[in-house]
Structure 1
Amino acid sequence: MIGILSFILALGVIILVHELGHFLVAKHYGILCHEFSIGMGPLVWSKKRGETTYSIRAIPFGGYVSMAGEEAEKEIVKVDQVVGLEFDQNGKVNKIFLDPTNQKVVGTIKELDLYKALSITLTLEGGEVQRYDVDHDANYILEKSVQQIAPYDRCLESKSKWARFATMAAGATMNFVLAFVLFFIVGLAVGMPTGSNRLGGVVENSPAQVAGLVAGDQIISYNNHSVANWEELTQAISSTKDSTTVTYIRDGQTKTVELTPQISENGGQISTSIGVSTEYEKSLLSGFNYAVFKMKEAFVSIFQTFKMLFVTKEAGIDDLSGPVGIYTMTSTIATFGLTSLIIWIGFLSVNIGIMNLLPLPALDGGRIVFVLIEALIGRPIDRRVEGYVHMAGLLLFFGLFIYVTFNDVIRLINA
């Protein structure tokens, strides 16, 4: 149960923050957002507030913000369709009913332009043709929902190249911000290694504790070699396998003790330890430094994976993990405690942010590529062509998703 809850929490937070980035920037630039959804598939819950429907869907492997103009708008009403109309106090159409039952004005659409001209022409009963102006914020009244019309100035394609770029990049940017905040919180809690020669902790029943060393002792000499920082201390420990002397300062007094290091072997590798840990500093600065360190570590790790996949060929598609693999890893990490889980969520957030910025169809990076092409050639690519490209990319990703998930299940069964 802990594994399932941790998995849902991890993906839920990452997806929520990602889509929230798109949503907030889109709203800032006046782009109409029809729906803000966490999850995919069948609808579990929805609530309409203002012009946007907020929803939760059954499959927690994704989410989306449905922005007007991101895809070619589907025709909700069209010529020769029978509709009913309702008007505001200014005489403009403010509601278009797909089910015209009990509406005062009912007719067959002869002409309509809900994109720029904002008008609709009906052939009424008796053959009379009447043109009506449509309110800028008019709504379609559907069978079970309400959706606002999408005039040109509320669509994504009407905005500047910078506005579209910022809207597409906002999701990944928020993923990076989330990761940094999570790493910062962990950094505040656990601190950042100072690198000094002062002990931060001593393992119970270890050679160091048996010899009388405690946290706070400052080691100045190990095996008759001067020690000025943690790196020098660890090097001295690893190079000494016999009984040795340790000189340290405690409460201003210098003392010397003898101890025998613990020797262990793992896979043919011999290691030496005395059971001590470094001192950690807990402050806003150390939290910031820890967050920077972990962000760099996450980015390097992900790009090393790309290198192994596409350059050195040390890894292949069969080595990739999908939702099942992520669930397995999340369940395992959750057993190590909250701190480990928070770090893992941060790492996943960076991963998802980078993946979404890849210049591939259907991803945010693919959409950014079309904005950059428009900037280079001086005109937008045909929206239908762009739509076909993204659809093809979506189908390929869906196929990859199935393949990777299948491999995850096989690995889980054979584990």
Structure 2
Amino acid sequence: MTTIIDFIIVFVILVLVHEFGHYWFAKRSGILVREFSIGMGPKLVAWHKNNTTYTLRLLPLGGYVRMAGWQDEDDEIKPGTMLAIEVNGDGRVTRINTSNKTTLQGGIPVQVSRIDLVHELVVEGYANGDESELKTWPVDHDATIIEEDGTEVVLAPDDVQFQNAPIAKRLLVNFAGPMNNFILAILVFIGVALSAGVQVLDTNQIGTVQSGSPAAKAGLENGATITSIDGQAISQFADLQKVVGEDKDGPSLNVVAKQNGKTENLTITPTKEGLIGVTPPVDRSIGTAIKYGFTQFWSLTTRIFDVLKQLVTGQFSLNKLAGPVGIYTMTSQAASGGFQSLLFFLGYLSLNLGIMNLIPIPVLDGGKILLNLLEIIRRKPLSPEKEGIVTLIGAGLMVLLLIAVTINDIMRQF
């Protein structure tokens, strides 16, 4: 049960941070965000605020920010459709109900003759089954529509649609999700460094001596400085590891250490694994933590790119990828190592999510950015039809890959 809770928390944080990047920059660019969803599939909970509907959905497979425009779901309502409208005191339509799951109290039943919710913002039709009089209602710019599944979202007039924003703003909106994941990863790594400290390896001073270890039994104390082992000078912690490791399962070590203001000669017998039970000192200063956040970010980024390089140079393997099942398993392993281990895993996943989303595959952010760059080069966008086909192909490929990875994740459990 604890693992499930940890997984849900990690999942929600990653999706929330990623999608909030798209959401925030879309709002600042004048693009209407119709829905902000955590999860996919059937809706569990929904609430409406500031022209955006926030939903929590059943399947923990991601999330999305639904912006008005070409890639938005179609609100097309055909002539002859029966729906209900709600009007204000000025006679303007404020709500449109197309769902059988919801009833508008006081709503007017209308058989649609003509409707335009993008340009003219008008509804024409016959009210209350009276086909003798064709009526016309103006539609409020911020009116809402209740869709077939019962989700209520704001209409998408032409002036707030994604494709009508300047190309620079659209490019930034598409990049904002991965950017937020990168920022989260750096902040998480900084947090790990502040809580656990950063190991200082360029010193011959030790940090702590583990209770009951060979070093503790020999009288070595926390913070001692080891100057030599068996006559070999020790200048940094790596020297200590090397010398001790070479003498595993061998004779005792003659250790010269400075502690309590004096130099002492100690005899320490390593374990069969070549350990004496000491750890390096740690630095919890803010400056060191910030440096660690960026250096760890860069180190892991290069490793991820090395794996991606292998995937496209003939060394492809599903074992190098992980879907929801694999991530759940890794979350369980990270959680077993304690809070700091789980926190580090959150940063690592966030970095992975940001990089993977920048792969130039249609339906991913990288694919959208590629289309933005092509638009800048061509000085005109792809037609909605062509972009829709490209996106559909990309979505199909991603679904197939997700299925394959998930099956492979399940097989690896047995």
Q: TM-score, normalised by structure 1?
A: 0.88
SS in 2 for 1:277: coil
Aligned residues of 2:221 and 2:259 also touching (Cα < 8 A): no
1:347-362 to 2 correspondence within 5 Å?
A: 347-362=348-363
Task: Work out the CA distance in 1 between the residues paired with 2:283 and 2:324.
Answer: 37
Alpha-carbon offset, residue 85 of structure 1: 4.9
Aligned twin of 1:213: 220
Aligned twin of 1:395: 396
Is 1:277 aligned with 2:279? yes
Is 1:162 aligned with 2:168? yes
Aligned twin of 1:115: 118
Is 1:174 aligned with 2:174? no
Alpha-carbon offset, residue 76 of structure 1: 3.9
Alpha-carbon offset, residue 206 of structure 1: 2.6
Aligned residues of 2:70 and 2:384 also touching (Cα < 8 A): no
Could you give the per-residue CA deviations for residues 3-44 of structure 1, whole angstroms, max 9, x where no partner exists?
A: 222222221211121112211111121221221111111222
What 5-or-longer segments of structure 2 have no aligned partner?
Answer: none
Aligned residues of 1:84 and 1:103 also touching (Cα < 8 A): no
SS in 2 for 1:48: strand
- Greater shift, 163-172 or 140-149, is seen at 140-149
Letter matched to residue 275 of structure 1 = G
Letter matched to residue 393 of structure 1 = G
Structure 1's 63 and 132: CA in aligned 2 closer, same or farther, altered over 3 A? same
Task: Work out the CA distance in 2 between the residues paired with 1:145 and 1:260.
Answer: 69
1:146-295 to 2 correspondence within 5 Å?
A: 146-195=152-201, 196-240=203-247, 241-264=250-273, 272-295=274-297
- Greater shift, 144-153 or 58-67, is seen at 144-153
- Greater shift, 360-369 or 39-48, is seen at 39-48
Aligned residues of 2:112 and 2:126 also touching (Cα < 8 A): yes
Aligned residues of 1:82 and 1:108 also touching (Cα < 8 A): yes
Letter matched to residue 278 of structure 2 = V
Q: TM-score, normalised by structure 2?
A: 0.89
Alpha-carbon offset, residue 333 of structure 1: 2.1
Alignment RMSD (CA, Å): 2.6
Is 1:134 aligned with 2:126? no
Structure 1's 109 and 346: CA in aligned 2 closer, same or farther, altered over 3 A? same
Aligned residues of 2:35 and 2:153 also touching (Cα < 8 A): no
Task: Work out the CA distance in 2 between the residues paired with 1:226 and 1:102.
Answer: 86
Aligned residues of 1:299 and 1:350 also touching (Cα < 8 A): yes
1:19-98 to 2 correspondence within 5 Å?
A: 19-82=19-82, 85-98=85-98
Aligned twin of 2:373: 372
Aligned residues of 2:66 and 2:72 also touching (Cα < 8 A): no
Alpha-carbon offset, residue 133 of structure 1: 3.8
Aligned residues of 1:200 and 1:279 also touching (Cα < 8 A): yes
Structure 1's 41 and 204: CA in aligned 2 closer, same or farther, altered over 3 A? same
Task: Work out the CA distance in 2 between the residues paired with 1:49 and 1:171.
Answer: 22
Aligned residues of 1:192 and 1:289 also touching (Cα < 8 A): no
- Greater shift, 373-382 or 159-168, is seen at 159-168
Task: Work out the CA distance in 1 between the residues paired with 2:168 and 2:144.
Answer: 29
- Greater shift, 383-392 or 93-102, is seen at 93-102
Task: Work out the CA distance in 2 between the residues paired with 1:126 and 1:324.
Answer: 56
Letter matched to residue 238 of structure 1 = G
- Greater shift, 161-170 or 238-247, is seen at 238-247
Letter matched to residue 165 of structure 1 = L
Aligned residues of 1:83 and 1:109 also touching (Cα < 8 A): yes
Task: Work out the CA distance in 2 between the residues paired with 1:152 and 1:9.
Answer: 37
Task: Work out the CA distance in 2 between the residues paired with 1:380 and 1:340.
Answer: 45
Task: Work out the CA distance in 2 between the residues paired with 1:258 and 1:210.
Answer: 10
Alpha-carbon offset, residue 83 of structure 1: 5.0
Alpha-carbon offset, residue 217 of structure 1: 0.5
Letter matched to residue 178 of structure 1 = L
Task: Work out the CA distance in 2 between the residues paired with 1:262 and 1:371.
Answer: 60
Task: Work out the CA distance in 2 between the residues paired with 1:328 and 1:187.
Answer: 25
Aligned residues of 1:191 and 1:290 also touching (Cα < 8 A): no
Structure 1's 141 and 341: CA in aligned 2 closer, same or farther, altered over 3 A? closer
Aligned residues of 1:86 and 1:96 also touching (Cα < 8 A): yes
Letter matched to residue 51 of structure 2 = E
Percent identity, aligned pairs only, is 35
Task: Work out the CA distance in 1 between the residues paired with 2:137 and 2:218.
Answer: 92
Task: Work out the CA distance in 1 between the residues paired with 2:309 and 2:259.
Answer: 49
Letter matched to residue 62 of structure 2 = G
- Higher share of residues assigned strand: 1
Letter matched to residue 285 of structure 1 = G
- Greater shift, 117-126 or 294-303, is seen at 117-126
Letter matched to residue 231 of structure 1 = A
Could you give the per-residue CA deviations for residues 294-333 of structure 1, whole angstroms, max 9, x where no partner exists?
A: 21232122112212322261x4135532211221221122
Letter matched to residue 150 of structure 1 = A
Alpha-carbon offset, residue 150 of structure 1: 0.7
- Greater shift, 43-52 or 110-119, is seen at 110-119
SS in 2 for 1:38: strand
Task: Work out the CA distance in 1 between the residues paired with 2:268 and 2:89.
Answer: 91
Alpha-carbon offset, residue 105 of structure 1: 7.1
